[in-house]
A and B are shown apart, each in its own frame.
Chain A
Amino acid sequence: MDTRIATILAPEDLGAAGTKIIDINLQDVVSRISIAFKTTNVSEDMTEHPAANISKIELIDGSDVLFALSGLQCQALNFYDRKNKPYSYIDDIAGHAETAVFGLDFGRFLYDPLMAFDPKKFVNPQLRISFDEDVCEVDTTVNECIVRAHIFDDKAVSPTGFLSSKEIFSYLVQTSGYKYIDLPTDYILRQLYVKCRYADTSFFGLLAAARLSEDNTRKIPFDLTMTELIHDAVEAYGYCFEHAYLNGITTSTVFYGMPCDLEYAVYSPYGAADAGAVWATGGGKYRKLGVSASYNLKVILMGAMPHGVMPLMPKPSDNLADWYKVPDLGSLVLRLKDTASVADVATAEVITTQYRPY
């Protein structure tokens, strides 16, 4: 067969918290590395989205950082990068398991022959997964991590490079004023994102506008409000969806979902008719109210801004010649306008996806 799925890490309980370091010993070209982190609920007290159990995913070669994102950022980019929506399922029932899946996408699509990660081009590539199993559900003591690589097998490919996604800058959002961020210009830029997620707060209540300027405002590719940007983003990328299976206890309790704005939550009771409720409070935080603990809720969440991540540039085509050729520039600066109601509580994170040629 042309392709194959290789297991890099067989199912393993990584422990309560720490960093798992895995040497990438593959010789075959890799299109995607998939990480699945499953935790088993003890309590029914959800304090974060399951993806937050993974604080950092890095692919490094010595001191060279090839990929570096948090779990939430990685899932959001998987939504934006893929033609089909990535798997995401929430379950807060005690004794049930929740699985968060993350993908390190090195190409424009799965099994892209032109862009892929070739381990042979590097000295000692390592995958580093930083985790804490009870960030999502308190009292969790059991986890299972599986890492697989989607590789080219019988099909010989010669990728010219790979896509490298990294968080390059973060800062605490203020109540007013601008933040200027120098953006990297050595590699062609495929997409630029900003993430700002704070519970019970809309993204638009934290960041108001974004401007990109070349060579000290010699040219301004865009200077838009975040509201204008989300109009284009929703039209280009569509809405993100998430399924959830939740307990139906009769007091208002919290759960977390991927859509962080323009949220719609609909549910059906599982087992009997009831008159419960599910609603969003902003920033990926939701509340539910059941009628009986005997009847759980099956919920669909729909919305924009997965994990509070906003794409700032137009959706890139698959045509490499159309991507932003920033190496031609002297400098590239992103300006973000802050508008938080309380300073120093929310963090804005700037993420780039670049094309790195071999």
Chain B
Amino acid sequence: MDFSAHISTPKNTTVAAPKITSLHLTKGRLTGGFLFFPPGPAGTLHFFARIGIHQIVPFTPGEDYHLDDCVIPFSLGIDLLEQPFIIDLITWNDSITWPHLLNICFFVLPSKDKRFSLKKIVNAFAATNGYQKS
């Protein structure tokens, strides 16, 4: 499943007060995706993505993508197991003249398993992962 967003960030959007776009996904495994910077921003448009407070793209904390006229493929392996299944897409635009656009897409392999098995719910505190030792 592909989840995408087309984000236009106004000029003079600062890193202190960035634009935050929330992408609502589903339970499953975030396997990859891509980020497209159209020609034009010349490094003034910045992007990173996070789940809650945890930054996932790029995974290096404190880093962001700020490129021009290129597609960046993502290599991810992040399990989305718990609600809320929301990724926050953070953008800011250093340009004082133009708004800038980017396209982001995430690939999600949906989970077919609903949740824990009954054994695990019944025995949530056991150190034996839901089954009794003989």
Contact = CB atoms under 8 A, between A and B. Distances in A.
Contacts of B82: 168, 184-187
Contacts of B129: 357-358
Contacts of A183: 83-84
Chain B interface category by residue count? 20 to 34
A151 interface: no
Contacts of B120: 327
Contact of B127 (A58, A160, A320): A160
Contacts, number: 90
Given A182-B83, A183-B83, A58 B54 contact: yes
Contacts of B126: 160, 357
- For A70, A159, A160, the residue with the greatest tally of chain B CB atoms inside 10 Å of its CB is A160
Contacts of A188: 124
B61 A56 contact: yes
A70 B121 CA distance: 31
A321 to B, nearest CB: 8
Contact of B53 (A18, A69, A159, A181): A69
Contacts of A170: 52-53, 88
Contact of A181 (B54, B77, B84): B84
Interface in B77-96: 77-79, 81-86, 88
Contact of B52 (A169, A186, A325): A169
Given A168-B84, A186-B81, A327 B53 contact: no
Contact of A63 (B62, B77, B86): B77
Contact of A19 (B61, B85, B88, B127): B61
Contacts of A276: none
Given A130-B61, A186-B82, A172 B20 contact: yes
Contacts of A168: 52, 82, 84
A328 B115 CA distance: 10
Given A184-B83, A331-B83, 7 more contacts: A63-B56, A68-B54, A169-B52, A169-B84, A172-B20, A183-B84, A357-B126
28 contacts: A18-B62, A56-B61, A63-B76, A64-B79, A65-B52, A68-B54, A130-B62, A158-B127, A166-B52, A168-B52, A168-B82, A169-B52, A181-B84, A183-B84, A186-B82, A186-B115, A320-B125, A325-B121, A327-B115, A327-B124, A328-B121, A331-B83, A355-B125, A357-B124, A357-B125, A357-B126, A357-B127, A357-B129
Interface of B: 20, 51-54, 56, 60-62, 76-79, 81-86, 88, 115-116, 120-121, 124-127, 129
